[in-house]
Amino acid sequence: MPSVFEDAIATLLSPIADLLENPKVSEIMINGPHEIFVEQSGLVYKTENKFRGEEELLSAFRAVAQSVGRTIDDDNPRLDARLPNGSRIHVVLPPMARKGTTVAIRKFSEEKLTLTDLINFGSLSKDGARFLDICIHLGKNVLVSGGTGSGKTTMLNVLGSRIPSTQRLLIIEDAAELQINTEHVVNFETRKADAQKGFKEVTIRELVISAMRLRPDRIIVGEVRGEEALDLVQVMGTGHDGSMGTVHANNPLEACTRLETLCLMGDIKIPPDAIRKMVGSALQIVVQCSRYHDGGRRTSHISEILGVDNNGNYVSRDIFKWVQTGKTPEGKYIGEMMPCNYVPSFFEDIVTNKLPFPKSKFLRKTPSKDQAA
């Protein structure tokens, strides 16, 4: 049964109760008490929902913060937390938030998706999905790249769930979101400092060090946002094949540059050109997730990273790429994921392991003369 405290929170959040309960709503965005938007099917809509005023809105999220052992006030005007049901919230208080208390609630989904689901949603082609499955099987290091809300976490969940059950997986996250369905998995989550309780901060970097000492086969860093990027790169380059992470970037080459920049954020004494070579040699596959203007989330690129050239530039080759071919009267994009006429450098690994994926799958079919006519 819900506690009295949980009942009180439910009452305080009653102005958005219908949005919280609506399974079609994936995110709720509150821009002050009188302006509430939702994301539904990839598109953002304004709702009629409102709080009576700033005091009611602030009281609601102070109670939410208290429910997860956190504080939000003038001394702590930002809150980043995970609710007991898995939903993530971020809150910013006035005067930093000019319209009033501003909140984003990314709702937790209990649905565990598969590669087949991504194919059915139009996010991946069958060949693209099969190729990614092979990459996981062969233990290729994978970086999932994309913007906010592009489907990075979903993709990482799906790919992580394809890791063989005989391997030990350690997952490290700032706020636990991943729901990877595999047999041997250990989850770590960072901790914020709390002076009132005497808690010291525990960072992703510290958890990566612990993970390295716990006999992992693979390590996943849920979202790389700071100097822990260097730890992920070192993990990928020191025998933990098949490790993964996500990063905010708009294309595969930018993902490499972004990871390099994050590596340099810490107090390290490694030259930038050495960092670039480390990133180029550690990364093997970049999966680019994109959110399109029609609301669709698609895998726009599956690319191989081939290190750096003599000029110090990253070398990336697209293996599969989503190409738009039209648009429906309703505004939905028409397109498909196509091969890019590039055979990955590790194709011999596919052949040696007798994995059913012929070279022709990487080659774009040329229309016959009759078709062209």
**Tens digit of each residue's pLDDT (9 = 90 or more) over 161-205:** 999 999 999 999 987 888 898 889 999 988 877 777 778 889 988
- The pLDDT score that the predictor gives to residue 9 is 74
Give tens-digit pLDDT for 98-127.
Answer: 999 999 998 877 778 999 999 999 999 999
Residue corresponding to tokens 């990253």? 314
**Mean pLDDT score, 4-8:** 61
- The pLDDT score that the predictor gives to residue 148 is 86
- The pLDDT score that the predictor gives to residue 69 is 78
Cis amide bond preceding 95, omega within 30: yes
Give tens-digit pLDDT for 253-279.
Answer: 999 999 999 999 877 788 999 999 999
Domains of the chain are 4-106 (3.30.450.90), 115-364 (3.40.50.300)
- The pLDDT score that the predictor gives to residue 3 is 54
Give tens-digit pLDDT for 309-357.
Answer: 999 999 999 999 999 999 999 999 999 999 999 999 999 999 999 999 9
**Residue type, position 39, single letter:** E
Q: CA–CA distance from 166 to each of 16, 36, 131, 182, 219 (Å)?
A: 44, 46, 21, 9, 14
Per the structure block, which two tokens stand in for 125? 């082609």
CB neighbour list of residue 191: distance below 8 Å, 6 or more residues apart: 199, 201, 202
Residue-averaged pLDDT of the chain: 90
Q: Which of 247, 255, 246, 328 is nearest to 292 (CA)?
A: 328
Q: Whole-angstrom Cα distance, residue 186 to residue 176?
A: 12
pLDDT above 70: residue 371: no
Q: Is 242 helix (H, G, I), strand (E, B) or coil?
A: coil
Per the structure block, which two tokens stand in for 331? 């505004």
The 3 state secondary structure assigned to 325-370 is EEECCCCCEEEEEEECCCCCCCHHHHHHCCCCCCHHHHCCCCCCHH
Let me know how long the chain is. 373
- The pLDDT score that the predictor gives to residue 5 is 54
Half-sphere exposure of 195 (CA within 13 A, CB side): 2
Spell 89-126 as b/e; 16+ CB within 10 A means b: bebebeeebeebbbbbbbbeeeeebebeebbeebbbbe
DSSP E strands in the chain: the ranges are 25-31, 36-40, 43-46, 78-82, 88-92, 102-106, 142-146, 169-173, 185-189, 218-221, 244-248, 285-291, 297-308, 314-327, 333-339
- The pLDDT score that the predictor gives to residue 367 is 54
Q: Which of 345, 233, 254 is nearest to 300 (CA)?
A: 254
pLDDT above 70: residue 70: yes
Give tens-digit pLDDT for 200-223.
Answer: 889 988 999 899 899 999 999 988
pLDDT above 80: residue 6: no
pLDDT above 70: residue 366: no
pLDDT above 60: residue 231: yes
pLDDT above 50: residue 363: yes
Q: Whole-angstrom Cα distance, residue 228 to residue 215?
A: 19
CB 318, CB 301: distance < 8 Å:
yes
Give tens-digit pLDDT for 133-164.
Answer: 999 999 999 999 999 889 999 999 999 999 99
SS3 content of the chain, % helix, strand, coil (to 5): 30, 25, 45
